[in-house]
Amino acid sequence: MSDDRDLIRDRNINAFNINVFEWLLKATRVRGIMPMRKRTPVLIILAIAGAGAFAATHKTASPPTPAAPPPVPVVAGKVSSQDVPIYLRGIGTVIAYNTDVVHSQIQGQLTRIAFTEGQTVRAGDLLAQIDPRPFQAQLDQVTGTRDRDQSQLTNALANLGRYTQLEGKGYATPQLLDTQKAQVGQLQNAIKSDQALIEQAQVELGYTQLTSPISGITGVRQIDVGNIIHPTDANGLVVVTQIEPISLIFTLPETYLPEIQQQMADNKKPLAVLAYSQDDKIKLDEGKVDLINNQILQTTGAVQLKAEFPNTEHKLWPGELVNARLLLNTRPNGLTVPAGVVQQGQQGVYAYVIKPDNTVEKRDITVAQVSNGQALIDSGLAANEQVVLDGQYKLQPGSHVTVLHGKAADEAAAQSAQQIAIP
């Protein structure tokens, strides 16, 4: 509005000046109005008036005062003080304690499969059945041989008793008595041999039932019903893998070894280990350290540790690559902030601290660890200080901020997370 008024005023001044110039010029041209010597002051007045009009119409406007920038909306958080666990992070592989390939001890036709792939089995559970008839017949045969020899032995012992009586009366020769004793011994040894054959036949008959040697989970079946199974089959019938408990072998830099050994000696109990998925979003199980390997890996400068997990929920799977967190100790009254507070700059890690006058201060900080979305601060912040959690990209040291709350804060945080996710 003020610009329009100035424009109208300038136009009026210009029109007035033009009228004055025209009148004066006409006056000077009219003969007889004034002599020549009196025209000079008039021309001077005309020049001054023109200069004044030019100055009035071409004056420079003073620059407007810049408006203060509006406060930057941010999401804020507080520095909290609490007991914070200190973890050492490594990568490990899940290893089963026992993995058995179920082989047949005999050759025969597979007549029954008693398990399904992926089934949980216990030690001794039936997995498959081989046709038992040939082996039952062999057992019956050696059993009959033993019974026959047993009958002959009974008769030989009776004859030996009679010959002994006759020899005492002089009716039998010593040679006949000795022959009978030899026959009794021969039959007794034959019965022992028969018994061994019976036991062997019983064992082979027992081999017709293929059972699980361990408790675990079955894998992919390698042979179908009706086929002939052999002891020399490379893949066997199926692989059974123990799942409960299960082990994890992971590595840590060798520089942590003295501290780990010190903590194990001070606690007088195994250190706890947490297993997480590769994206660190799912906690798989919690176990304990079983051993520290007796050698450092020279190629990587790392030490191997083995941990045992109960794995009752079967979240750990043999061969799986997982993230391991070794609980070293717990820091009392540790300072923590949400991980989004921590910013990385060219000169190091920093955070924006909101001062009482709602301006921000850029503060250099030292981070000990980041775990479960919380950053443990070694230095740079104090308990209960208010820090910027979201909206840092609009800030500079000294910027005024307004703290969002409730739904507005949630929407700003969601929008920021979406922008971060965009590559």
Count the domains in the chain.
Answer: 4
Q: What is the pTM of this model?
A: 0.66
At 177 the pLDDT is 84
At 145 the pLDDT is 93
CA 186 to chain centre: 72
Q: Are residues 122 and 187 in the same domain?
A: no
Rounded Cα distance between 383 and 362, Å, is 17
At 409 the pLDDT is 65
Question: Both tokens of residue 58?
Answer: 């071409």
Q: Are residues 351 and 410 in the same domain?
A: yes
Q: Mind listing the pLDDT tens digit for each residue in 3-38?
A: 445 545 555 555 545 554 455 445 554 444 444 444
Rounded Cα distance between 11 and 18, Å, is 11
Question: Both tokens of residue 96?
Answer: 């089963």
Rounded Cα distance between 26 and 42, Å, is 12
Q: Are residues 235 and 376 in the same domain?
A: no
Low-confidence residues of the chain: pLDDT under 50: 1-4, 7, 16, 20-21, 24-25, 29-39, 43, 46, 51, 54, 59, 416-423
Rounded Cα distance between 249 and 303, Å, is 10
- Residue 367, domain member (yes or no): yes
Distance separating the N- and C-terminal Cα atoms of the chain: 47
Domain range for 26 = 2-57
Q: Are residues 366 and 293 in the same domain?
A: yes
Q: Are residues 232 and 178 in the same domain?
A: no
Helix (H, G, I), strand (E, B) or coil at 175: helix
Q: Are residues 15 and 156 in the same domain?
A: no
At 423 the pLDDT is 30
Please identify, among 241, 258, 287, the residue that sits at the C-terminal boundary of a domain: 241
At 413 the pLDDT is 54
Q: Are residues 118 and 202 in the same domain?
A: no
Q: Are residues 47 and 141 in the same domain?
A: no
Helix (H, G, I), strand (E, B) or coil at 36: coil
Q: What is the largest CA-CA distance in the chain?
A: 206
- Residue 294: give its domain's CATH number: 2.40.30.170
Q: Are residues 105 and 193 in the same domain?
A: no
Q: Are residues 231 and 355 in the same domain?
A: no
* CA distance to 143, 190, 196, 206, per residue, from 193 (Å): 11, 5, 5, 20
At 370 the pLDDT is 86
Q: Are residues 410 and 311 in the same domain?
A: yes
Q: What is the CA radius of gyration of the chain?
A: 51
At 113 the pLDDT is 95
